[in-house]
Every structure is written in C-alpha cells, then in structure tokens.
Structure 1
Amino acid sequence: MTDHATPHAPADPFAEVSAETPAETPEEHEARLARRRARRGAAARWATATLVFALAGTGAALAVTAPERTDLPGLATPGDGRYTFPPLTLPPLPSGSSAPDRTGRNVLHTADLRYLLLPAPKEAGGTLTPALYPIPTAAATASPSASATPAPSPTASPSASASPSTAPSGQAPAEWVTCDAILAEQQDPAKLRELLLRDACRAATVREWTASDGTRTQIRLLRFGASFESWDVFSALRSDARSKALPGAKTTSHGVWDTVEGVHLDAQESSATGAKGTPTARIAYLGASDLVAVITMTNPDGVPAAAFRQVVTLQSDLLA
C-alpha cells in the first residue's frame, strides 16, 4: 500500500505579514515630537495671520465707507454746483382738508402757500434744521385775497391776519407779494397782466437767495382758483413770456430729468454763456394743479446745470 501524503493548503497571498516594529530610540522619539510641535505652531501662526488680515480688511472697509467720499484724500470729486438743503417737509393741512391727488377728486393746494417754497440752501446762509411749521389756523391758511373784493385781483395783498403768529423753527416763511409783481420781470407784461386778471390769481409768494458761487435764485408761486386757470397762465409763460433775465432765451431739453409725476415742466436757458461755459440764466416754469411756479437762476459766470436741475426737481417735489 502506498502512503499518500496529506496535501498542504496553498499559502494565502493576501495574508497579513506581521513584523515587529523596531523600538524608537529616545532621540527619534524626541525628534518626532519636535516635528509635531512645529506643525502645530505653523498652523497656529497661519490661523493668527488669517484672522489679522481679516480684521485689517474689515477695518479698512469701514474706514473707507464710513466717511463721505469727498473727505477721503484722492477720492474727492469736484463740486458740480449742487446745493445742500435741509430735509424737506410738507406743511400741515388745515383741519378737514386733504392733500392734492392725481385722480381729479381733489386738485387744490390748501396748505400755506409760503411753506410750499423751497428753503434757502446752506450755501446761501440757510439752516439745515428741518422746518417745524406752526399749527394752521383759519386766518393763517385763508387766501390772502379772501378779504378783498369778491372778484380777485392780481394786485390783492395779504391781510395782516394772514401771517401765522409764530414762524417755524429753522426756516423763515417766504414773503407774500402781489400777483402782478411778476410783471416787472417781463419784457412785455401786457398779455400776462390780462391773464392774471382773467384767471383771477388768488395769491402769490416769493423766495430769493444768492449762493456763495454767485448764483442768484428766485422762486415765485402763483395760486389760482382752479387747475384750468393756472394752466392758461402756465401755457402763456412757457410759450410767449419773454423774461428780462433771459435775453434770447431758448428751450432746453429735460427729457433725461427725473421729472415729478403730476407737475408740468418747461425749462429755458439764455443764449449767452459765462466764463464757465454755461448759460448765464436759466428759467423753469412749473404747473401743478392750481399752482404755477417760476424759477429763475442767474449768474454772470454761468449757472451750473446740476444746481438748476436740483432746485427745479426739489421744488417740484414740494408741489406734487
């Protein structure tokens, strides 16, 4: 009988081969710990540097954005002639009246006409304190010509009782003037005088100032009894009026302006230019419901376009 040897199982090629890890010497152990400490120190330094840069960037951003651009060296932009006005506020309305709207149900301005005029800017000695208006009373809000004859006259002047007992803080009220005061500024006042009589101008007021750049600004407001009456005068002014301040006047485009809804605008400028290369006079006619505004700005060196546009837009905001 032949003996058969017991077959041996093949060796597993994937079997884990165990080997004893040689023991570290004290020098190797100390070197390994030193490398670990170095890596941790480097990571801490990078984290600290990142935090410092983040804080520095945030501080720089705040330092740049907090002050006005014009206060930063190298970033100041040349002035374009715009003025600094106080925050605009609307005067209170008499008890029982509502603000004008654009639906046709209420189209008359019932507030004190003098407080619908744009205040003088800082550059003309004006204050930046917002106006605080007196509480309106029947005497203060009545039409200046209410005590006159039944047929309103453009020369009617306000009665003494038309002035509020106290003026608003931070802004002196504008002056009441006669409706025909505007005639003195016209080269041919006859037609306008006829319109003021026919359409029964009820009241008028004016504010004037001269800014530090030499630009003189005058704003007139005329009040009528109905919107169709004021429209007659507005149409005549923009098409036929020849102001003494604008010899050789020509209409200027205002299509790119942010015009105010509900306020009609016609802007004109003189053909003469000043040292700055801009017109020496600019004028704007505004029609807002029962009111007509005439804004005249003159300067022998030239009226800045930005200042003119700013004044016209802000005055329109008060009338809208």
Structure 2
Amino acid sequence: MTDHATPPPPAPQDLPVPDALAAAEAAPAGPEAPAGPEAPVGAEAQPAPEAPLDPAVLAEQEARRTRRRKAAVRWSCAALVFALAGTGTALAVTAPERTDLPGLATASDGRYTFAPLTLPPLPAGKNAPDGRGTSLHHADLRHLLLPAPKEAGGSLTPPVFPAPTPAPTASGSPTASPAPTPSASAAAPSATPAPGSEVAPWVPCDALADEQQDAVKTRVLLLEDACRAATVREWTASDGTRTQIRLLRFSSSKESWDAFADLRGKGRPKAAADTKSTPRDDWDTLDGVSLTTVESTAAGTKGTPTARVAYLSASDLLAVVTMTNPTGVPIAPFRQVVTLQSDLLA
C-alpha cells in the first residue's frame, strides 16, 4: 500500500491577523481613501480660507449697487408721473361737457336753451288731462305757454307759479277780451309780452284772425266754436327768428278739434302766403296731442323756408306756433319749440 505525502500545515505567521482584518474593513476603499500619515482615517476635509477681496473690487460692487438703486427710483418716479398725468388727462377730458372741449364741440344746429319745463298747479279738486284727448285742461292757460329761451332774453330758472285762479268766463264773442280776474289784471296789457316774462297776457280770441289772410272767415269760425280765452307769447332770438305761440281754449274737445281741422286744412297765415304741408314721419308724437305742420314755399338765403307753422290740438286747447325769418327758419329749433309746447299740453 502506497503512502501519499500530505502538505504540511501553514505556518502561523501566514494566517491573517484578526486585528488587521478589522482595520482593513474600516478603512475606505477606492482612490478617495487617504494614504499616508497626512490623511488619518476618519478625518474630515476643511475648506480652504478665502482670500480677502481687493478694496477696489469692493468699491466697484458698491457703486454698481448704488447705481441700480438710483435707476429703480428714477423709473418708479417716472411711472408715477405718467400714471398721474394719465389720470389728470382722463379727468380733464371726462369732467367737462363735451361741447366745452376744443375740437370735440358739436356744431350748433340752432336749437335754443330753455329752462326746465314746469307744469302749473291745478285748482283744488281738478285732475290733469288723461292723455286721451277727452278730458279738459283746468290749469291757468297762460302758464301752459312755453317760456322764452335764453337766446331771446329768457330766464333759465323754472318759473314759480302763483296760486291757481278761476279761468275767465266765456265772453260770448271772440272779439271781446276774457273777463278780468285778479291775476289777469296784473298781466301786461300788451299782446306782446316782454322776453322772458313768466306770465303771458290775456288777448282776444279773434287776435288769431288778424294773422290770417281771410280774417272774416276765421272770426266766424272762432265764434261758431265758442272760443273762451286766448293768450300769446312772442320772442325774437339772436339768430333773427321770430316766434309766436298762440294758445286758445274752447268749451269742449269737439269744438277745439273743429277749429283745428279748419285751420290746418284751410288756414292761410299772412306770415306764409303760400304754404305746403310737411311730412312728420320721424317726429316724436305725444298721446293726446294732434299735430300738423306747414311751411312756406319761399326759401331764404340759407335755402330753408322763411316761415314754418304748426297747429296743435290737445283736448279743449288749440295752439298755433309760427316761426319766421327772412333768411330761413332752421328745422331744428322749429321742431324743438313745437315738441316742448306739446309736452306742456299733453
């Protein structure tokens, strides 16, 4: 039997020492592991101290920060100035009336400036017209006339009406003046009141006939329809246009309508020898007021008619508005006057 030789056991110095193994495991591996006595195991690296900056660099940085602050302040002030200027401009444009701004004012079309319309008080126990053209007007007839405008010396302050007084009784003849009343005696005796007068005078009913080419026929018409009272207001505006508003009261709406229908169809005012009717499709009409307008065939230097006449019927009242001007009567003030007079009668 052959004996095999066995290798001898390792020498004791070749075996790993336990303390050395523990130190090897605790040491960091890789290229970052410090080597040598200058990098002890477990020591942290300390940052290198910064070198002090040059005073010139510090001064430049401080100057740069100062310039930035100054620039920010300047831009903030500029923005504030522009905001204030814009706000002031907006207020300057929107606060005043558009017509007061240069370049934005609308060219005047000839309309007048009137005081705010005010209806007169009614006698105790009397009601205002119902707007259907059937109820009567009980207010003082003279206070239902349109006041004179500013352009004719009129006041822009609304009138203060006195206490209502009884209406004048029917005279029985259109040529006679209405019976005097306490308030009528204080009125001006002339048929043409002073411009801006708040109280118009009483006049004979047939004063309207004197303004017609056929005065006799008009007197008969007013007598048959029993005109009870009449008043008038006249003014001449700064543009040379003469305006006359004559207001007549009848006993009923039927009698007033009969006179209105005759005058608007057959009336021939002396102010307009030849007239023609005018369309009113775009006029604002009021309930309870009927309107017919005519104009002269003769034209003035402005190319507009030299006379315009409007006939208004409102229940028991009849109004005749006549506007004349040798150079021509503009349509805007004519429509304005007629519309405002209609407002007082509606």
TM-score normalised over the length of structure 1: 0.81
What does residue range 1-320 of structure 1 map to in structure 2 within 5 Å? 25=53, 27-102=56-131, 107-136=135-164, 140-142=165-167, 144-146=168-170, 148=171, 152-163=172-183, 171-320=197-346
**207 and 73 in structure 1: CA distance in 2 versus 1, 3 angstrom threshold:** same
Kindly indicate whether the alpha-carbon contact (under 8 Å) linking 1:134 and 1:166 is maintained by their aligned counterparts in 2. no
**47 and 230 in structure 1: CA distance in 2 versus 1, 3 angstrom threshold:** farther
Q: Which position in structure 2 is the counterpart of 1:13?
A: none
Q: Which amino acid aligns with 1:141?
A: P
Residues matched between the structures, number? 301
Q: Which position in structure 1 is the counterpart of 2:42?
A: none
Residues 27-56 of structure 1, C-alpha deviations (whole Å, 9 max, x = no match): 555544444443443333223222222222
Give unpaired runs (5+ residues) of structure 2.
Answer: 1-14, 16-20, 31-46, 188-195
More off after superposition, 254-263 vs 62-71: 62-71
Kindly indicate whether the alpha-carbon contact (under 8 Å) linking 2:174 and 2:228 is maintained by their aligned counterparts in 1. yes
Q: Distance in 2 between matches of 1:187 and 1:236?
A: 14
Q: Distance in 2 between matches of 1:135 and 1:21?
A: 105
Q: Which position in structure 1 is the counterpart of 2:192?
A: none
**180 and 24 in structure 1: CA distance in 2 versus 1, 3 angstrom threshold:** farther
Give unpaired runs (5+ residues) of structure 1.
Answer: 10-18
Q: Which amino acid aligns with 2:235?
A: W
Kindly indicate whether the alpha-carbon contact (under 8 Å) linking 2:166 and 2:181 is maintained by their aligned counterparts in 1. no
Q: Distance in 1 between matches of 2:122 and 2:161?
A: 10
Task: Give percent identity, aligned residues only.
Answer: 66
Residues 99-122 of structure 1, C-alpha deviations (whole Å, 9 max, x = no match): 212257x72111110011011112
- SS class of match (1:237): helix
Q: Distance in 1 between matches of 2:177 and 2:79?
A: 74
TM-score normalised over the length of structure 2: 0.76
- SS class of match (1:218): strand
Q: Distance in 2 between matches of 1:219 and 1:108?
A: 20
More off after superposition, 197-206 vs 32-41: 32-41
Kindly indicate whether the alpha-carbon contact (under 8 Å) linking 1:206 and 1:220 is maintained by their aligned counterparts in 2. yes
Q: Which amino acid aligns with 1:212?
A: S
Q: Distance in 2 between matches of 1:194 and 1:211?
A: 34
Q: Distance in 1 between matches of 2:52 and 2:131?
A: 93
Residues 67-101 of structure 1, C-alpha deviations (whole Å, 9 max, x = no match): 44454444444432222222221111111212212
Larger radius of gyration: 2
Q: Which amino acid aligns with 2:173?
A: S
Q: Aligned-residue CA RMSD in angstroms?
A: 3.1
